[in-house]
Structure 1
Amino acid sequence: MLDPLLQLPIIDITAERFATLLIAALAGGAFGAALGALPSFVFTGFVVFLGEGIEILQREIGTLPDVPDGELAAGITGVIGFGMVTGPHVAFAGGVAAAAYAGKKYPEMEPAGWDYHFGKNITFAHGTKPDVLAVGAVFGALGMIITRVMGGIGFPTDNIALSVVATAFIARLVFGYPLVGKVAGSSLLDMSPFEREEPRRMADGGEVPAEHEGRLATEPWLPHQYKWSGVTVIGLVTGVLAGYIWLETGSVFLSYGISAASLLFLALGIEKIPVTHHMTLVGAVGAVLAADVIASPPVILLVAALFGAISALLGEVTQRLFYSHSGTHVDPPAMAIAIAMLAVGVLYLVNVLPNAGYLGL
């Protein structure tokens, strides 16, 4: 996600500015741990929705006195929504790492009714437990640094999404989880052990560790959203809506904010709420790309649908590879966005695509 503050390398800012960002990121990561990764991301959605709404309003009524065009919205969307307060690379990453830590350190805290390893519970609010908040703080700061470094060297993808993925894998290594995990089915992509409700077993047939008792051998990211047909259809639908929102408002991020905010219902325990922010964001990018070469709005919407479906399928493939077999959360939407936008960035740099969407290339 484009944040003007994140386009500058660390070496191009003063020590005072870096210290300010570092302290804020520490607090933001701890905030994500306190609320839980998913609730903190819901706040991302609300803040982005607010910032993009203000930008649209500002365009309609003209620049406000003493406020340069776009600056007010950039301050809300970029500095807060995608910055040190609720930025996914800070707050969500801190919450994910805190869950991974708590899964090993405090298994007794696991709430009733949670079926997966506790390290995957990104809905759990860790409150004020100092050591858990400290883990969130460290990973929030790490997420900020990774994002700034990768943005600074011009790595051609969404480096916030990339940082979310990187910190999640680092948490697995730091807290003693396997990077991928034991595969129970015929391949990494095989979800049939989940469908058969097969329990987790030791590779040598020995006793299953206490932390895995009662666990399923394969744990899909979303039990209601993993079948290829359903994933494809929801990607097509949300891609169209994202493209339409961009056509009507000019905002790439508004549909992302709506998708993220909709996860409030998932966090509240309403079943079968789809997770779609990777579909809407990449779908909107598809519309931006198509509009540079095609003047027909219906065709633009069809391209947005295609991009939404591609991102949906990327999320599903990556969850099967990197989420389902280990004991912590590695975010499939972040993986999908990072991969999709890397493709967009590279194809733009080699002059295949007319623009790079929202990437600052």
Structure 2
Amino acid sequence: MAVSDLWALELLLAAFAGGVFGAAVGALPAFTVTGVLVVVGELYDLGRETLATGAPELALTGSVAFGPVFGPHVSFGGGAAAVAYAAKKGYIDTDFDYHEAKNVTQGLGTRVDVLVVGGAFGVAGHLLKTASALVMPWDPVAFGVVASALLHRAVFGYSLVGTSSGFLDMTPFERGEKRVFADGGTERPAVEPWLPYQYKWAGVSLLGLAFGALGAYLTYMTASVFLGFGVSVLLLVYVNSDVAQMPVTHHMTLPAGFAVVAAAGGGVATPAALAAALPLWQALVLGAGAGLFGALAGEVSQRVLYAHADTHLDPPAASIVVTTLAVSLLGMAGVLGDPNVLPDPSWLT
């Protein structure tokens, strides 16, 4: 599909439907569908790949999992905007510990105005992703998620980052301090970590090293930069099912896959080409480093953009923007082999 076709009316209508889908089922459940589609899509495409034809076409992953319906910039972004709107209108009253606008596991049913908001922000996410892909060498889908969240905060009158005397300081949460927020007088924790069990630097760092190596291994063996990401996103099914202390790691596995393919020279990547370009131990070390960077970028993002604010701005998406930009810049500087390892706009239809 040509880049110009990404602005087509039918894709905007598809994005509206995707935003409604995210609003109806909830932002996080919608994103788990993305994970299923990525894993199925990568395995399907890898099944069609031969050494003669080169890299897989990534049709299911690009056009469906990251496309204008199920892409997280559409369905997750639409769902996050819809729950922020519903909370502002007073439609939601659960036992959620934080502001209800952060409750992205919450399906929102069939209220028409809420679904329309989801659809509108699905369109906004599609447009933001499409525009950013034309000008910046980062993951445009992740950028669409982040930009959509900032937009819904601005549109619905929420603070863009919240207020705090120390954005990186999590100790008020550990001390159990409360604060009266300007949301109707509701008392909430003074600081609200994105994942109360996944915010301490040492544990986050170890997760990044381990899941970065895992993502690198999957990429090395399959030449798929997205398979590790898909596996990580599938784990969110358990997060949405309230399984205790389930780690969130897709911002660790994805940059690891990109880094391995970039270091191998990019181009038409196959398992044989990757093995010829670098040994497995180098791929694992590189992936662990990229995973660590992604984990730390995610932690900084949650402390600055989530913990003191009222709505959900996705820390992994913010991290992926940073890490994929770093991979591209390192490629341009000659540190990694290929500055063009990220998908181009025509791929992310």
Tell me the TM-score normalized by structure 2: 0.90
CA distance in 2, matches of 1:110, 1:321: 26
**Is 1:103 matched up with 2:95?**
no
Q: Answer whether contact 1:291 1:300 (CA < 8 A) is retained.
A: no
> In structure 2, what is the equivalent of residue 82 of structure 1?
66
Amino acid at match of 2:114: V
Match of 2:220 among 222, 241, 247: 247
> In structure 1, what is the equivalent of residue 307 of structure 2?
324
Percent identity of equivalent pairs? 43
Structure 2 unaligned segments of length 5 or more: list them. 266-275
**Is 1:230 matched up with 2:203?**
yes
Q: 1:24 to 1:190 in 2, by over 3 A?
A: same
**Is 1:135 matched up with 2:117?**
yes
> In structure 1, what is the equivalent of residue 29 of structure 2?
39
CA distance in 2, matches of 1:80, 1:111: 33
For residues 201-253 of structure 1, give each alpha carbon's deviation from its aligned partner in whole angstroms, at most 9, with x where no partner exists.
4xxxxxx6564523111000000100000100011110111111011111110
1:1-361 to structure 2, matched below 5 A, reads 5=1, 8=3, 12-13=4-5, 18-59=8-49, 70-71=56-57, 74-107=58-91, 109-112=92-95, 114-151=96-133, 153-183=134-164, 186-201=165-180, 209=182, 211-292=184-265, 295-356=278-339, 357-360=341-344
Q: 1:29 to 1:285 in 2, by over 3 A?
A: same
CA positional deviation for 1:351:
3.8
Q: Answer whether contact 2:158 2:310 (CA < 8 A) is retained.
A: yes
Amino acid at match of 1:219: E
Q: Answer whether contact 2:64 2:70 (CA < 8 A) is retained.
A: yes
Q: Answer whether contact 2:25 2:107 (CA < 8 A) is retained.
A: yes
CA distance in 1, matches of 2:245, 2:55: 40
What SS class does the counterpart of residue 146 from structure 1 fall into? helix
Q: Answer whether contact 1:239 1:283 (CA < 8 A) is retained.
A: yes
CA positional deviation for 1:60:
5.6
Q: Answer whether contact 1:30 1:91 (CA < 8 A) is retained.
A: yes
Runs of 4+ in structure 1 deviating by more than 6 angstroms, as ranges, are none
CA distance in 1, matches of 2:66, 2:135: 18
CA distance in 1, matches of 2:239, 2:51: 36
CA distance in 2, matches of 1:69, 1:168: 34
CA distance in 1, matches of 2:123, 2:314: 18
Count of residue pairs brought into register by the alignment: 334
CA positional deviation for 1:179:
1.0
CA positional deviation for 1:324:
0.5
For residues 37-79 of structure 1, give each alpha carbon's deviation from its aligned partner in whole angstroms, at most 9, with x where no partner exists.
000000000001000011121126988xxxx9834xx331111
CA distance in 1, matches of 2:109, 2:331: 44
CA distance in 1, matches of 2:17, 2:231: 25
For residues 115-159 of structure 1, give each alpha carbon's deviation from its aligned partner in whole angstroms, at most 9, with x where no partner exists.
0000000000001111111111010001111111122x3311111
